[in-house]
Chain A
């Protein structure tokens, strides 16, 4: 296999070029159909239970993702209750209604709110809160007292301090939120007012992130490429030579991304980082080949032979390092988060592809280089960099590591203890709004609006009533009554059909039966009494089936609202009882004493019939379904952090354990803030599984590679220390464990093992060659240590362009990649020798006879 590949590459370089060029062209052509996806909902598989429930709730309650527009006036003594501000709010709201993609009937704004009040002679009155901009300062100021009487408006559409107003703009599709937010911004910019306008909301954050992510991909990946190019040029001082690994990197990235796009996968936050991850990894193998080639190249000999020998020599370690890196990333497939799986799978593929491209393209490239260019390589012969600063530092480090084993081990043990303490402090948290820097306008809007309002993040606590035997019981009992009617001579055929039909939902089912009985009662003169009995029985069951219309159930909802507020994480709740109480108060004259729930289900029904006679009857169905079997309590949260949502969920779990819900009633969560929490939980569990899975596989690969379980264990040490140290650091510096951080564990595993493989394998070879551990321990800190250090530097610095990204997850990845490289290089170059020094007899004595297997 490897001979065939090699001889093909060396003897048919033009064919290799042609094939690679065609592949690149083909996959590059796929790239324009790229589809960006930043919807965190897609972090969960479409069939995931919480997601399915969330989508059902959104549909049943006609809820849409909403952009939150805020208007703040800190100067006027009346806050936003002045003519100019309210005029601006009115104009902005009207402008928003005209934007395509906005669900106009459900836009919530003060100027689109309905007010329910007492008229001059005590009549009940529905009137628009602010149909026209207020014409006098008194009218403007008067709106404040109206708002104070409407619990659904206060602290949702206008802040309690009167300084801020909000417009909730539901949109048809999430991917419209960025363009719509720009249109709203343009409208706000054109307003002549002294108010400040802010736009936020999860969909805007997500969609804006998508747009910026796209730009980031176009900037960061090429920058990382440039950085790597410069570093390699620094090390090799030969731009023609350095060009080759760059081509390998570009070929790998283009084919991998082209494949991803052509297979119909969307590009998520994680997959957008694939090019940045692949670029340094793809370069590493080429660096090995070229270093080695430069060492062995002799202008008097045939180029083909030299390169063939080099590749033969490096084939196995390169294959193994590629395989282990690939396994590290492939282990992400064990995490049940589709975008993470896609990321893992394609980086794993890319790593192997890079290996293949390297052993095909690099030999072909070198064979086709001009003799003059090759001659330049002589300068790079081994030893030429033996006196650089790096070389001297490494030599000193080697002496130190081998002689002060116990000291190093003690230090590492200390670090491990600290790291474990740090790991225990890790805060698992994510919030799409925090993907932006503090200074980003979305972050600022988020801060300002949540300072004034009870919260701009929403979640829904949904109560559902179910009685599976309800209709069966009805059918059984109705049977006797319908038989009575039939015996009395009524033509009950149609009524019977209606009763026996398969019920779609209880309301429609009972409605159609009642309508059929009603019609029959008009036509028949026989069995009237029995039919009327059936009618009133059916009506009774129907009213009873409207569970959340019952005063007891409404009181239950109130209790839940209170419990939610008591969790401490909720700014405000809005629910069905709030509507009922307001209408009841206004029906009875507007006194606070009547702010209550009526005594019977019928009274509630009649109260709601009045609410439905308003300008916005549809608002009712955002809180209860028309069959009154499901009700949604709206939560306003001040923070979209998963942690805060977790606390509320946990507190409610505790509450419900002590105060169980009535029979047949279940409680569940929905809403974007909650969904974020679900996938975060799944990710943490999944990542642990991925990491352990990869750890076991890589250990077996190492034991196999070194034909020694003991050396296999040794190989696992640096990466274990690195992972613990990095995550310990994350715990100590209070960096939230979010998605990019989670993914880094696999990356660490995949990359640190490479250093260990090279170090152990070279050490083993050196012990065999030099015949003594002492001699080998000096040699290992020459060229082999330099290669490892050089690769660590290339990869670490290759990620530094990410520091300049405008999006936080990119900065995080850049910073931690660099740290991982430094820590794992240190762990390899200091800890491994220390351990070897202590256990050398056990590890190496028996090895003397065994021929080195892989170099």
Chain B
């Protein structure tokens, strides 16, 4: 399994070169890999048939207890087969479809990258691993939807898909973490249970169960385009057709369904009234109906299919919620066949006849018979026409039967299923019948002709497999569906996929309802003008307050809000930044005092102060005030020098000769530099008005007062003992060969021994400043750059000496 992922990942990287050197054979070459991997998975059907599983583990981050655990069971196998085999067909198809596109290599790289992520997603057993692959599918989907990035609709569709599924994914991440820790609670593992196969029983009784369900479902329902998050899927149709067929019909959109099915045994409550089941049935049934209804109003081939896919995803979610894993698995498999086929057919019609609108075209059967036949088979399958031996019929009868067996919800669900079924029949006619056999409104834009064989292979095979599915279920359908059903149900299970007379008798009611749905669907087809007119008020409503509109409003609000916030917070004025910082700090002080309800205690033993100290203090105080008032630059420099020297004397008096010496040297240098550049500097100017200056003075004075109090308060606290005694001990060795810093000056040994990395950082700052000074001095007005190899300025040399 890990090998297959590695092969696909490498293939994704190598795809551009394959495309360059294989030429038109690129599709065949690239498709061979997933086909081989798919065959390997198919050979594992017996191994997972009766609840078995193949597990591979790789120590990922053993320090964090993270293992890459991959596990292939029935459910994983169903999806792995879809991903690899349909993927092989799509690669083959895309090899011709994308022929001549200037970025074809990149396209295949993305597409195979997606394949890798999706395969990883369905094989991962570890929740973290699952999430990573989950997000990777979102990202590759984003790249593929926006592949024709010169078109605006591609870009906005890609962004929409990423926003909706990405936000859902974030919620899901939170849900998975809560799930893992809740499971850890139950299993007695403090670090959480991270492997899905090891999740304990009884999660539905945990206190965090509602959160787990809500958050995990937020991810699953957005990913699987459930109403009201469905709108991104039709927008995603801006992608090239192979992408729509592969990601947005057969695989990626089913990731949510997959995870729901995966967690169903652990999160289900066992009754239809439970939170998990209720939400699944509610969202699923609504989506099934709304998706199918919305599809009936579309005329663009791919959008019709997209909305019908939304409906199908709703069916899958609903069936899992109703507790019919066999119906869900049978439907997933059948849907992948007929919908994948129809999407590829839509691509062929677009590619070979230049047409996208099914309302306009018809009679293409003569020009493209093989395509038409495949579309017809897929269409009949999708419609679930009674007694037609096709996958769709088998799956649909199981679905109606499930609806008839839904306890108190029977009437409602059956009605919804039949209504959605009628719409689906109509969509099937529009997509599988109309373009090839219906009346043409006009000639196709291009001279229509049959597609080349690589593009025909996948849709034809998928259509034929639909027959095999129904007629010889034992060949692949029954084993796969049984294995998947077992995994969803979490126990032994036998799937009945049969088409014998006895079975028809058993499902006669379902059969009758199915016939009814078919007739209604055909009716809508013939009266479609009337239907569109009758439903247009709802469409208008959807355009004003529909989910897609809500998304637009939200995005607009986000953008405007960000702009407004940036204008206020980052307005480019340094004064405003400083003021905001000061007000915020003052606010924090005020909040802290309010919270604690008291001011910190201050020591009041202020001893008599000597004359020297008074002189220093007064000179600093006077200079501090004078420095802000002087109009002369040179005088200000002199006053600054007074402050600096006075501070240095304070250090010297109180036991810090090193700091004092540095201060003296630096102060002298600053005065010298200032004097050197002072006549190149602008004169002091007063720009602000009086009111602003008074306000600034008040703010500055308040802050200064707070700092003065802070000094007193902080000086009187002793949170822990000073560590200077340690430096005293560690400075010199007791014995001649003892370990120590070997220094007599404690400040020195701190700088070069105990805090040497700090000092190194200081030197780096000096170096950067020196480079900056040098560059600014030497930068020529004509912007010719810096002249090379000149000695640095004197001030930079002496800096290093001080340090």
Partners in one complex: no
Residues of A in contact with B (beta carbons under 8 Å apart) = none
